[in-house]
Amino acid sequence: MNYTRFFSIDEKGPLDGARLDLADSWGVAVHAGLEYALNERWSLNGDVRRVSLSSEAKVNGVKVGTVDIDPFVYGFALGYRF
């Protein structure tokens, strides 16, 4: 499960000067990854996440519709064990 809270929205373009509010969102998240040990101390890992977000949008307090955001998020890391 994923919970997203929107804050510090910076309106630009056609919404410049308006107040955009996005409601908090609950959605499904899927996560998969791999880790490879290079030796006793060092490792490499990578992962991918798919998140499903849907939020009610209001401009200046008036509901204007729903925003659907469904990103893929990728991560890579080099790990060291102390």
Whole-structure pTM value:
0.68
Sheet arrangement for strand 62-69: 20-22, 53-59, 62-69
Structural domain including 64 reads 2-80
What percent of the chain has a predicted confidence (pLDDT) above 70?
100
Q: What pLDDT is attached to residue 8? A: 86
Average pLDDT over residues 45-72: 94
Q: Is 57 strand, coil or helix?
A: strand
Q: How many domains does the chain have?
A: 1
Q: Residue 66 in contact with residue 57, Cβ under 8 Å?
A: yes
Residues 20 and 9: their CA atoms lie apart, in Å, by: 7
pLDDT tens per residue, range 31-40: 999 999 999 9
Q: Is 13 strand, coil or helix?
A: helix
